[in-house]
Structure 1
Amino acid sequence: MAQVSSGTTIAGAWSGAAMSPAEAESQRLAALYRYGVLETGSEPAFDAITELAACICDTQASLISLVDRDRLWFKAQTGFEGDSAPRTHAPCAQAIEQADDRLLLADPAGDPRFAAHPALGAAGGWHTYAGAPLVTPQGWAVGTLCVLDRTARSLSSRQQHALRLLAEQAVAQLELRRASALLDLQGNTDEVTGLWNRTAFERRLAQEWTRWSRHGGDLALLAVDLDHFKHFNDLHGHPVGDEALRQAAQGLEGSLRGHDVLAHCGAGEFSVLLPSTDTGGAMAAAERMRVALAAVPWVVEPLTASIGVAVAVHAADIEPIALTRRAHRGLTHAKAQGRNCVELCLT
């Protein structure tokens, strides 16, 4: 098949900005990563696009191929095995460098630039490739919608036009997916601290509880309450109180592991979910949080916290609310001990 190409760089073609190839590639990857789609599972909307592309173009295979730093990752595929392939020598990588929305039409097995690719070149046996770039509204080409066939053949002008239209629909689905994720994030996020809110935390707790119930292991929960926060708020006002909450959230979050879950559940209350954590680990985490608050550069005056600790027990716990109640009983004990301390509740 004939090659359609251009010497214009990605930056000049899509963004209109004057930047080096390295800067353009960094911006392009950032645009791809904002979709949060890499390594996600199959989704009917994307699967339907590849099925339609293969059907309309009368080819044996079709892919939605996202061009990552060193690889192609396939969000959807029809008639093709595997979920990724090397970026080097890949026609999809060449297709995103074109200066407009023209297709890249090539024979991957016969073109020396692509023949060495282990999945799409001579070893793969594909002799027809047509790829339409997936161009974001901001002008970055993040991948392709392509069709493949093991027989050398041509696509009609109508088929090429249809492939470009389907590529636009693939981008529309990426945008819709991102917008939905942002709305979901907003609904799950506390406005003051930026942490998860109570609803999101309870949903995550239910998920971790189900996993723990089935597979065993350890699971701990901490109930954290800033000492005398109501008095602090009344004395200094809510704007200062909100800033103190943000400072507390940063201090607490900085003491946790990446997979721990911290949520602001109202007023001066925080909840912490510690997956794969036994009693000793939970007590150590709680003490780290208490010490971390002492190091916070508080906006007006220092705040401390009382912390209740609970660990899931198979023989006693049949629902996640049992763990929550036990953590709050530990919190009550910590307050009774004079506050600014950690208490474990076993029953």
Structure 2
Amino acid sequence: MRQSVSCPVPANEPQRVASLYAYDILDSLPEMDFDTLASVAANALKMPAAVIGLMDSERLWFKSQIGLGVTHLDRSIAFCAHAIMRPDEVLVSEDLTKDARFVHNPLVTNAPNLRFYAGAPLINQQGYALGTIAVADTKPRTLSDAEKQLLKDFAKLVILAIESRKTATQLQKLAMTDQLTGLPNRVHFERVLNAEISHAKRSKIAFKLYLMDLDNFKWINDTFGHPAGDEVLQEVSQRMLNEIRAEDLLARLGGDEFGLIVRGDCSQFKDTITSRMAYAVSAPLTLSNGNEVNIGMSIGSVAFSESVDSIGELLGVADELLYQQKRK
């Protein structure tokens, strides 16, 4: 009969998990900074296995691993679940077969038949244990005080890498986001559009591009001022978002111009998406100063085809159709 394996949980578990999720790092692709740290830790401590593990609510996910060959473990069998219970200490089990906490653990009784484990908690600036950097071996080992301190130092370096990654991600997001509406900006839109063109050429799955321009927007700015215009742009953006699918991309391209990429087979609604969006935008809008305004929207659209297959051509055709409608 399989022995049960207990799994301790920190008292601040909800806050700890929320802090981890804020880094948006779980299930991300391998990155050199973390792989290098895991490799150096294994070599410095002369261990065949090393991991940088982040403790999710139900699993230990490895941002980097050497010598284990898996991407994650069930939390109930993760040694790191015990390590994060004492954030200020390095958890060392010199012989896992003689440790009452782990003697029945399947990582010990079955392949890879681990016998030694040492893990240093990854403590972020808020004091939460996000996971561990750990080393392991298939034979009993000891760890000197100097080696324990070295593992702690590696943990600090991992946290620095995590924090730096978060900052870089935030800066990249800011560079790709329109600050007024929160929508993707033109740079983001054109990158995605290029990717969609490449995908459509390979897969032969079409998509449709829409360019939209607000009617009567200049009058609102001139009459009520630019703060009122900003209110309109924010409200209109939300109304348009409510009319599209999660897999479609809506962006503010600048001023009162918006772009939309409708992915996949849009034949079922290609004749109604423009009317839905135009109807939503044209509903009366009450400004914070109490004035009610009405605004319209002109739309130009073009479907990807072999004859119109570059970003310049697609935008050019959609733009021309947009202004044909606007002139009417």
Q: Normalising by structure 1, what TM-score?
A: 0.85
2:249 aligned partner: 261
| Aligned partner (choices 79, 90, 95) of residue 103 of structure 1 | 90
Task: Return the offset for 1:195.
Answer: 1.1
1:281 aligned partner: 269
Task: Call closer, same or farther: CA 1:216–1:113 in 2, change over 3 Å.
Answer: farther
Task: Return the offset for 1:69.
Answer: 1.3
Task: Call closer, same or farther: CA 1:307–1:166 in 2, change over 3 Å.
Answer: same
User: What amino acid does structure 2 have at the position aligned with 1:328?
Assistant: D
1:317 aligned partner: 308
1:331 aligned partner: 322
2:187 aligned partner: 199
**How many angstroms apart in 2 are the aligned matches of 1:261 and 1:331?**
18
Q: 1:255 touches 1:288 (CA, 8 Å); kept in 2?
A: yes
Q: 1:290 touches 1:305 (CA, 8 Å); kept in 2?
A: yes
1:150 aligned partner: 138
Q: 1:283 touches 1:309 (CA, 8 Å); kept in 2?
A: no
Task: Return the offset for 1:294.
Answer: 3.8
Q: 2:239 touches 2:280 (CA, 8 Å); kept in 1?
A: yes
Task: Return the offset for 1:117.
Answer: 4.4
For residues 199-235 of structure 1, the C-alpha deviation after alignment (integer angstroms, 9 at most, x for no partner) is: 1111111122222222221211111111121122111
Task: Return the offset for 1:97.
Answer: 1.5
Task: Call closer, same or farther: CA 1:301–1:79 in 2, change over 3 Å.
Answer: same
Number of equivalences: 315
- Does the residue aligned with 1:142 lie in a helix, a strand or coil? strand
Q: 1:109 touches 1:125 (CA, 8 Å); kept in 2?
A: no
| Aligned partner (choices 287, 297, 312) of residue 305 of structure 1 | 297
User: What amino acid does structure 2 have at the position aligned with 1:92?
Assistant: C
For residues 259-284 of structure 1, the C-alpha deviation after alignment (integer angstroms, 9 at most, x for no partner) is: 21111111111101122143443333
Unaligned runs of 5+ in 1: 1-7, 11-20, 338-347
Unaligned runs of 5+ in 2: 1-7
The aligned runs of 1:1-347 (5 Å cut-off) are 10=10, 21=11, 24-98=12-86, 100-106=87-93, 107-118=95-106, 120-123=107-110, 124-295=112-283, 297-299=285-287, 300-314=292-306, 316-337=307-328
Task: Call closer, same or farther: CA 1:117–1:221 in 2, change over 3 Å.
Answer: farther
Deviation larger for 80-89 or 281-290: 281-290
- Does the residue aligned with 2:76 lie in a helix, a strand or coil? coil
Task: Return the offset for 1:89.
Answer: 2.7
Task: Return the offset for 1:305.
Answer: 1.2
**How many angstroms apart in 1 are the aligned matches of 2:38 and 2:258?**
45
User: What amino acid does structure 2 have at the position aligned with 1:104?
Assistant: L
- Does the residue aligned with 2:180 lie in a helix, a strand or coil? coil
Task: Return the offset for 1:101.
Answer: 1.9
**How many angstroms apart in 1 are the aligned matches of 2:96 and 2:38?**
19
User: What amino acid does structure 2 have at the position aligned with 1:307?
Assistant: I
User: What amino acid does structure 2 have at the position aligned with 1:105?
Assistant: V
- Does the residue aligned with 1:256 lie in a helix, a strand or coil? coil
- Does the residue aligned with 2:272 lie in a helix, a strand or coil? helix
Task: Return the offset for 1:291.
Answer: 2.6
**How many angstroms apart in 1 are the aligned matches of 2:227 and 2:84?**
48
- Does the residue aligned with 1:144 lie in a helix, a strand or coil? strand
Task: Return the offset for 1:171.
Answer: 0.7
User: What amino acid does structure 1 have at the position aligned with 2:140?
Assistant: A
Task: Call closer, same or farther: CA 1:109–1:222 in 2, change over 3 Å.
Answer: farther
Q: 1:101 touches 1:164 (CA, 8 Å); kept in 2?
A: no
Task: Call closer, same or farther: CA 1:241–1:56 in 2, change over 3 Å.
Answer: same
For residues 126-184 of structure 1, the C-alpha deviation after alignment (integer angstroms, 9 at most, x for no partner) is: 11110111111111111100001000111111111111101110110000000001111
Task: Return the offset for 1:318.
Answer: 3.1
User: What amino acid does structure 2 have at the position aligned with 1:329?
Assistant: E
Task: Call closer, same or farther: CA 1:56–1:248 in 2, change over 3 Å.
Answer: same
For residues 291-321 of structure 1, the C-alpha deviation after alignment (integer angstroms, 9 at most, x for no partner) is: 322457442312221222211012x023122
Task: Call closer, same or farther: CA 1:239–1:117 in 2, change over 3 Å.
Answer: farther
**How many angstroms apart in 1 are the aligned matches of 2:13 and 2:283?**
40
Q: 2:181 touches 2:234 (CA, 8 Å); kept in 1?
A: yes
Task: Return the offset for 1:187.
Answer: 1.2
